Amino acid sequence: MEKPTAHSLSEIPHFCTNSHARVLVLSRRNIESHVSRVFHYEFEDVIRTIDTVDILAPVASRRGSNNAWPRRVLHKLRTSANLYITHGRIKPDFDAMPVDKEYDLFFYICRSPRDLVRLQALPHWRTRCHKAVCWLDEVWVKSLEPFRPYLDILQEFDHVFTACFYSVPVIAQALQKPCHFMASGVDTLRFCPYPLVPHRPIDVYYIGRRSTTIHRALLEAAKRDNLFYIYDTVADFSIYDYTEHRALYANMLKRSRYFLVHKAKFDALHETGGQEEIGARFFEGAAGGAVLLGNAPETEAYRTNFDWQDAVLPVPDDAKITELLADLNAQPERLARIRADNIAHSLLRHDWVYRWETVLTSVDLPPTPAMRLRQADLKQLAAMAFAQSEPFPTSHKAQ
């Protein structure tokens, strides 16, 4: 079977240029097709629509990439960051692409500090860009020590953001430069169910990492009560086309009554050390208007970003999930309010345009007219959500 590869809707080439671009974005979209990268590419696409941007999207080197190494060798090398950086045992997985234009800002989204080594394949990137900002999606305090050689590369950046709240002071201390928390986001225009307001026939939607107990209880309910339950049947997978995948995901959420969410990597204590962070699914589920069920992190970051009533309804990790669903299904007015609040707050606070504005503010760059137009559209949709908060159409098991 042919290995899936990621492409953008507009088929971004190796170097998508804009003669008036003030921003250079380095993207992994033509190299990495893993599902965990998809929302990064969505963020980049939103930036393209609201700012003047060149996207550097290289393809894998013809001379071979890291993927050519045996997995056991890769694991050994990647667990020794000093080997990776000092001896170059694993090289950037694309050919060198010199930056030959001047930009006001260089922006790079890294899933983890390992992604920073790819900058070695961009000669002159720092001297050509007046400011540089990196967003580290995932970096756990427990795992920070092995990544310290990677963090040295961050010295080239003026500001570092991370979606891991508790990692901020540790990174800032290591770098001795500004590091800030920036939560994940979502293209709310894609995920918002307004103005079409589709029917919600899916009773429960549960993807990614999951509680085995809750999943089994929902499987039994699907057999016993004809519950329409949608869940993953594969794990750790790549996708064919990231925009198609994202569109399908958004359409499913807009048609789901309930969406299960958990703290980021809640079942990987060996990796997180118990550090509680907000996963991207909180933002995506709320933007789609689903009622969020699960266990939220007890953190200031969560309380700040989801500070409205019933943003996430707690679920015990046992078979009582079906009892909770029955109780909620008997409260259509409450469900309608929750849905409206989730949609409206997402539109007003968690769209990628607000995250991009935060980045620009950090380097004293002004917002663009396109950003203001998008924000105006988001406000109109939010008003629509509040105005149309009547009980939403029931599915066959919502009685």
- pLDDT in single tens digits along all 399 residues of the chain: 334 433 333 345 455 556 689 999 999 999 888 888 999 999 999 999 999 999 999 888 765 444 433 343 333 333 333 323 333 334 566 777 888 899 999 999 999 888 998 898 898 899 999 999 999 999 999 988 888 888 888 999 999 999 999 999 999 998 888 899 999 999 999 999 999 999 999 999 999 999 999 999 999 999 999 999 999 998 888 989 999 999 999 999 999 999 999 999 998 888 899 999 999 999 999 999 999 999 999 999 999 999 999 999 999 877 789 999 999 999 999 999 999 999 999 999 999 999 999 999 999 999 999 999 999 999 999 999 988 764 444 443 332
> What CATH number labels 15-181?
3.40.50
Cα dihedral 305→309→312→318 (10° resolution)? 150
Sort 318 into a burial class: Cβ within 10 Å, 0-12 / 13-18 / 19+.
exposed
Report the largest interatomic distance among the alpha carbons of the chain, rounded to a whole angstrom.
Answer: 64
Tell me whether residue 54 is exposed, middle or buried, using C-beta atoms within 10 angstroms of its C-beta: 0 to 12, 13 to 18, 19 or more. Answer: buried
Is 131 in contact with 107 (CB distance < 8 Å)?
no
pLDDT the model gives residue 308: 96
Q: What Rg do the C-alpha atoms of the chain give, in angstroms?
A: 22
Residue 317 and residue 299: Cα distance in Å, rounded?
Answer: 20
User: What is the helix, strand, coil percentage profile of the chain, to 5?
Assistant: 45, 15, 40
The CATH fold assigned to 188-387 is: Rossmann fold (3.40.50)
The predicted structure's pLDDT at residue 13: 47
Burial class (CB in 10 A: 0-12, 13-18, 19+), 298: exposed
What CA–CA distance (Å, rounded) separates 90 from 181?
30
Q: Where are the domains of the chain?
A: 15-181, 188-387
Question: What's residue 210's pLDDT?
Answer: 92
Residues 53 and 17: their CA atoms lie apart, in Å, by: 7
Helices (H), ranges, the chain: 38-50, 71-78, 81-86, 125-128, 148-153, 168-175, 188-191, 212-225, 242-253, 269-272, 280-287, 300-305, 321-329, 332-349, 352-362, 369-387
Residue type, 234: V
- Whole-number pLDDT of residue 87: 31
Domains 15-181 and 188-387 fall in the same CATH topology: yes
| 327 burial via Cβ count (<10 Å: 0-12, 13-18, 19+) | exposed
